[in-house]
């Protein structure tokens, strides 16, 4: 390994923060410079790319890679956070949609679209995290941002819920996408499950279990990490492919 630099693909479990995973990796590896490539909310699980040493300079290139998420939403309810961790702000009856009607609504969100980031997010406004402002009851204007939804697959649905797999660009908020789908259906929706299944070539099935960071230990984590040169190759390939 070049100067203790590289990348770890870790499956973050639900119930912990992305920063806590970074902190644990830093402690076990004994490396000062450690970061991650895209926050996952505590509710969410899935692939979290943790970079250390000189690999931290490649953060933006890694964050720009295409992502795949699996998520589940409850219809007829809207919360202040967009997921089940929040307080209910609205409840509406759910209409009787046919399978064809439901799929037609989903397809309206495929392509380049504009999305307003949620208040409960890690984005900053004048140096403050939006979620810090939101937790104190505040709200600030957020400008819409262009994102790309490459595909939405309907994995299952019932009268009260729907389950989708989304392939999307960096910067996409899946709970906001679900809320927008719920708004288009006229009944609202809130997310109660999210898994980031893939970032670029990194898949959750091949990731290190986030609950085993300490038990694996320093030497094993280094052994399972991707060396700096390989990380650079992945970023270069991503850039040469136009970000696809």
**Tell me, what DSSP letter sits at residue 238?**
H
DSSP annotation of 116 reads P
Known catalytic residues are: 41
195 within 8 A of 204, measured Cβ to Cβ = yes
User: For the purposes of burial, counting CB atoms within 10 Å of the CB of 194, is it exposed (0-12), middle (13-18) or buried (19 or more)?
Assistant: buried
Closest CA to 225 of 12, 49, 33: 49
Helical (H) or strand (E) element with 189: strand 189-199
Nearest CA to 82 out of 150, 145, 172, 143 is that of 172
């Amino acid at each position: 390994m070049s100067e203790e630099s590289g990348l770890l693909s870790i499956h973050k479990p639900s119930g912990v923060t992305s920063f806590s995973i970074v902190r644990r990796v830093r402690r076990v590896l004994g490396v000062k410079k450690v970061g991650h490539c895209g926050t996952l909310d505590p509710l969410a699980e899935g692939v979290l790319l943790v970079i250390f040493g000189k690999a931290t300079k490649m953060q933006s290139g890694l964050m720009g890679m295409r992502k795949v998420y699996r998520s589940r939403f409850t219809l007829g309810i809207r919360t202040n956070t967009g997921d089940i961790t929040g307080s209910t702000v609205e409840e509406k009856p759910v209409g009787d949609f046919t399978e064809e009607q439901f799929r037609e609504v989903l397809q309206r969100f495929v392509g380049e679209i504009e999305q307003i980031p949620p208040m409960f997010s890690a984005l900053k406004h004048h140096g403050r995290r939006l979620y810090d402002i939101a937790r104190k009851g505040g709200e600030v204007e957020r400008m819409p941002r262009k994102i790309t939804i490459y595909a939405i697959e309907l994995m299952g649905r019932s009268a009260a819920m729907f389950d989708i797999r989304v392939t999307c660009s960096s910067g996409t908020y899946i709970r906001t996408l679900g809320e927008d789908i719920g708004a288009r259906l006229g009944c609202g929706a809130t997310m109660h499950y999210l898994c980031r299944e893939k970032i670029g070539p990194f898949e959750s099935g091949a990731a290190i279990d986030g609950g085993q960071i300490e038990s694996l230990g320093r030497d094993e984590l280094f052994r399972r990490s991707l060396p700096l040169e390989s990380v650079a190759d992945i970023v270069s390939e991503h850039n040469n492919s136009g970000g696809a």
